[in-house]
Every structure is written in structure tokens, then in C-alpha cells.
Structure 1
Amino acid sequence: MSRRIAGMVAVVVVLLVGVTTAVAATVVDDDDRWNGRGGGMTSSQMMMFGGMHGMRAASEDVYLAEMVAHHEEAVAAAQQLRRSPRAEMREFGESIVASQSAQIDQMRQWLADWYPDRTEQVAYRPMMRDLTGLSGDRLDRAFLQDMIRHHMAAVMMSQQLLVRGGAEHDEVEALAEDIRDEQHAEIFQMQQWLRDWFGVGWQHGMHGGPWMMR
């Protein structure tokens, strides 16, 4: 797929995510209100989500370093799903750990091969809650809500790299396309689980979380 076509498809993908999440249900209950408020994120705010966290694919090496840190947080969170009461969630967690761990290894190798003088460290801001103290439904629900937002950031960062033609190697362009497409599909699956199991949308309870801008 050419960069021009990839960029056009990426924009459509992100727009679809925005439309879908904007219409998701936002049921509010006392158990999960944060700071005494419920509510959600508008589609415009969602489209800006990646930039809010400083994740900008200004160049290929920045994309790789940022995505390594982003993936590491996802892997750590997904490992907590070993305690989930739902087989679907345990399997989903295993899939995230396997796929994103492999991508981390690949991106680190590219950074070492192509950008040996660049430090891998980035000023990454955590986007997910600490799940270690949660169990049962609370674990599954918090994971789904947080990981949807987490995936959105990766989708938008990947499409930004593709739209701007920032990938200097075909391998990185292909990886960005894979991350965008895989995580886009997973967003829809997680939204469905939230609706089916908890009757809420991903936005519910997001106010006050550690990932929000102060």
C-alpha cells in the first residue's frame, strides 16, 4: 500500500472510531463516578486525544521510541487479565501481551540498528489506571475503558506517521499500518464487551483519571 493510500485509509479509520465512540452509551452510576461526575468525551476531543499526551509522530525514530513506551504500558495492563473471571478477557490479554511484546522487540531492534545514537527514553505519561487492586467485574470494566483510550492514541499516532509520510523505512510503514488496523478492530470489540457486559460506553467515568490533562 502506498503512503498516499495508507494515509487516506488511516484518516477514514480514525473518523470511524470518532463516530462510533461518540455515540456509545454513557450510563452513570454511583459506584464508578469519578470526582462526583459522569459523562464522556466529545468526538472532537477524542480526535485530539493522542496529542494531549504528547505522543506525536514527528519522525520515525520518535514514533518508534514513543510506541515502545506505549506498548509496554499495554502489556503490563494486559498481564493483569490473568485474574479475569471471563475467558474472553484472559484470552484477549494473552493476545495483547504476545503481539505487542513481539512489536516491542522489533521496534527496539530497529532503533538500535538505525538510530544507535538516540536514547530510547521518552517523557511518557501513563494513560491507564493501576489495575493491581481490582478484580472481577471492576477489573474487566476498568481495563476495557482504559484500553480503548489507550488504543485510540496508538491508532492516531500511527495514522499521523502515515499521513505525514514520516516512515523512512518500509518496515516501519507496514508496522504502523498493522498497529492502526489491529487496534482499530480491537476498539470495536472492547466497545461491544462494555455494552454487553456493563451497559456502558468507554467514556463513562473517565473524568479525573491520571491520563487527563490538568
Structure 2
Amino acid sequence: MNRSLLAGIAAGSALAASGLTGVAVATTAESSTQQAILWEQTASPIGQSMPAPTSRMPRVNVSDEADYLTHMVAHHQEAVTAARQLQRSSRAEMRTLGASIVRTQSAEIARMKAWLAEWYPGGPPASDYRPIMRDLTKLSGDALDETFLRDMIPHHMMAVMMSQHLLMHGSVSHAEVAAFADRVRDAQHAEMLQMQRYLAGWFGGSGMSCPMWGHPSGVMG
């Protein structure tokens, strides 16, 4: 199993990595922090048969803000679809988490679409985003909560990486997008830590595995 799926993503500010298993963050100078994120991907079946992991890693490098916004709209839409399923969770914490993701990311989708319409009326290239979340519609109880956490933690990591890559290596034309990417990076990293605590407390897992990277079945369309 490849332990280092993505390394060398530079950071503008240090991400608090305490409590996040499988992610190593190396910092250098205070004003020019460099972070290398090492992500170990392991299979973690949870009560149902799952396809074997694939070597295809979803794309996290974005070339410019139009590419970032287009890719992030699709990424957010998948998160909202999955988070709506938490209305059926028996845990109040998970219902609150799901409602927060739906509310926050739905508003962000509307904002990103408005920017794309205003600044790129000809339309940016179609997103090549590949869904990575498993279908939660038939799950309930612990299976629903654990599957959501195990898939959403690396899903959030993708948003952190995409935002970081845009800020450090992409072409940003509007200050609004830079500020937005900064907020997405920090907010989703904080949610990752919260989900990590839920997963460890309820299921004894680290949550850094997502066996569905790029797999054509078992994911949301």
C-alpha cells in the first residue's frame, strides 16, 4: 500500500495537525510555512462487501481559480448529498454535523456558481471530478455514521489540498477567491478533526482511509 499519496503541498499558514492520524505536517519558517501531507490509505470494511482500493487518486492540483471553482462546486455537491443522509442518524452530533455541512456548503456552491457566471460567462472547462463517497441511502444506525465519517474525512482532505494548492501554486485573479479558499481550507480541516474524534470515540478508527478513490461502483453519481 502506498503510504505517500501526496506530498510537498506548501501551506501559507500552519494547519493544526494534532489528533489527525496519518497526516504529517512539517513546518519551516513562521511566515513561509511548508507542509508535506503524507496520507496512508488502507482498506477498512464496515460490515459490507466493498471493492478493493484502486491506485487512482482524485485530482487535487488546480491550475487557476476557474478550475478550482468548477472542481469545488462538484466536490461540495457530493458532500451535500451525503450529509443530507445524516438526518436519519440516531446521534444528535451527526445530525448537527450533517445540517451544518448542508447549510454551509450549499451557500458556498451558490457563491461559487455566481462567481463563475460573472467572471467566466463563456464557461470554464467541464469538471473531471470523480465521486468518492459511497452510497449511504441504504445504510442506517452505526453503519451510516461510520461510513459517512470514514468517507467524509478524506473527502474534506481533498478540499484542504485543493484550496492549499490554489493558494500556493495556482493563478488567482480575484481576492475573493483567495479569501474563500483560505476559509474552506481552515474550516474543513477543523471539521476533519471533529469527525476524527467522533470516529475514534464511537468506532475506534483513525478515519484516514477511503477505499473508493476513483472506483466506478459503490459511489454517488
Return the offset for 1:212.
5.5
8 Å CA contact retained: 1:27, 1:200: no
Equivalent runs, 1:95-110 vs 2, <5 Å: 95-110=100-115
- Structure 2 residue identity aligned to 1:117: G
Q: 1:122 to 1:29 in 2, by over 3 A?
A: closer
8 Å CA contact retained: 1:127, 1:211: yes
* Whole-Å separation in 1 of the counterparts to 2:164 and 2:130: 20
Q: Which residue of 2 aligns with 1:160?
A: 165
Q: Which residue of 2 aligns with 1:116?
A: 121
Q: Which residue of 2 aligns with 1:186?
A: 191
Misfit runs of 4+, over 2 Å: 12-17, 19-24, 26-35, 209-213
* Whole-Å separation in 2 of the counterparts to 1:81 and 1:133: 12
Return the offset for 1:166.
2.2
8 Å CA contact retained: 1:148, 1:187: yes
Q: 1:111 to 1:120 in 2, by over 3 A?
A: farther
1:8 aligned to which of 12, 22, 29: 12
Return the offset for 1:7.
4.2
Instruction: Give deviations 1:140-193, integer Å, cap 9, x for gaps.
Output: 000001000100000000000001252211100010001000000000000000
Return the offset for 1:66.
0.3
* Whole-Å separation in 2 of the counterparts to 1:153 and 1:106: 20
Structure in which a larger fraction of residues adopt helix: 1
* Whole-Å separation in 1 of the counterparts to 2:43 and 2:66: 41
Matched, 1:60 2:61: no
* Whole-Å separation in 1 of the counterparts to 2:165 and 2:120: 21
Q: Which residue of 2 aligns with 1:142?
A: 147
Q: 1:126 to 1:29 in 2, by over 3 A?
A: closer
* Whole-Å separation in 2 of the counterparts to 1:211 and 1:14: 28
The RMSD of aligned alpha carbons is 3.1
TM-score, normalised by the number of residues in structure 1: 0.78
8 Å CA contact retained: 1:83, 1:135: yes
Q: Relative CO higher for 1 or 2, CA cutoff 8 Å, sep ≥ 6? A: 1
8 Å CA contact retained: 2:136, 2:144: yes
* Whole-Å separation in 1 of the counterparts to 2:89 and 2:151: 15
1:169 aligned to which of 160, 163, 174: 174
Number of equivalenced pairs: 191
Mark the runs of 5 or more structure 1 residues left unpaired by the alignment.
1-5, 46-50
Q: Which residue of 2 aligns with 1:48?
A: none
Q: 1:28 to 1:63 in 2, by over 3 A?
A: closer
SS at match of 2:127: coil
8 Å CA contact retained: 1:14, 1:156: no
TM-score, normalised by the number of residues in structure 2: 0.76
- Structure 2 residue identity aligned to 1:59: D
* Whole-Å separation in 2 of the counterparts to 1:161 and 1:97: 24
8 Å CA contact retained: 2:62, 2:170: no
Q: 1:120 to 1:132 in 2, by over 3 A?
A: farther
- Structure 2 residue identity aligned to 1:103: E
8 Å CA contact retained: 1:128, 1:211: no
Instruction: Give deviations 1:1-31, integer Å, cap 9, x for gaps.
Output: xxxxx9421xx3287751389799x897783
Instruction: Give deviations 1:182-212, integer Å, cap 9, x for gaps.
Output: 00000000000000001111145x44x2545
Q: Which residue of 1 aligns with 2:24?
A: 19
Q: 1:118 to 1:22 in 2, by over 3 A?
A: closer
8 Å CA contact retained: 2:63, 2:170: no
